[in-house]
Amino acid sequence: MVTTAASEQDGDGGDSSNSTEHVLQFDWRWSKDIRVRQCSPVTPEVGVTFSVAAKLVRMRDPQDDLMQAVSADDLPGIRAAVAAGADPNARSYEGASILHYACIHGNLEVVRTLLDLGGDPNVRAEPPGDEILDPTALDTVIGARFLMDWEKYDPIYDLLVARGARDSDGEVPDHPA
C-alpha cells in the first residue's frame, strides 16, 4: 500500500491558498503500464479521478520488470531491469529463482544474460519451488532435457556447468553422450 498526497485547486485556477490537500492510498496490482488496482481516498470528499491519481505515483517494480522480460525473451529489458535494481538471484513468491524460470523457458541467451548480470547458477529454490521445478537450475535443465527437448536444453546444461552450476547433491552429473 502506497500513500501519497494530491492537491485540488479551487475553480479560479490561481490562488494556492484555496487548494485542498488530500491523502490517497493505492493498493498496487498489475495493470498495463503501472501497477494500480484501486485508489481509495482516506477522506470521502476527494475528487481526484482514478486516471489522475494513477499519474501521481508512477512506480515500477524492477523485479517484476525482470520477470516479464525473462518471460518475453527481452534481453534489453533484462539488462534494463537489473540496471534499475532488480536482483537476478531473487526468488519468486513460489520460491524458485528467476534463473530457474529462464532455464525452464529454454532460451540460452536469456540464461547467459542473467548469468552475465550476476545470476548465481547455484541458487537453490525454496518450497514450493523446489518441488514445482527442482532444487537447482541445473536439476531443472537435466529434467527438461529428458522430458521435453534434449537439443534445446543441452546447450543450457553446458552453459550452467561452465559457469559452476551443481545439482542438488553438489555435483556435476556425467554428461551422457
| H or E element in which residue 23 lies | strand 20-27
CATH of domain 62-162: 1.25.40.20
pLDDT on residue 25:
43
Provide the grid cell at 138.
541445473
Q: With bands split at pLDDT 50, 70 and 90, how would you rate the model's confidence at 149?
A: confident
Q: With bands split at pLDDT 50, 70 and 90, how would you rate the model's confidence at 94?
A: confident
Q: How far apart are CA 39 and CA 25, in angstroms?
A: 6
Contact assessment for residue 68 and residue 75, using Cβ atoms and an 8 Å cutoff: no
Domain residue ranges in the chain: 2-56, 62-162
Question: Does position 43 have pLDDT exceeding 90, yes or no?
Answer: no
Question: Does position 51 have pLDDT exceeding 60, yes or no?
Answer: no
Decide: pTM greater than 0.95.
Answer: no
- Range in 6-20, 74-88, 114-128 the model is least confident about: 6-20
Provide the grid cell at 157.
546444461
Cβ count within 10 A of residue 7:
11
| H or E element in which residue 22 lies | strand 20-27
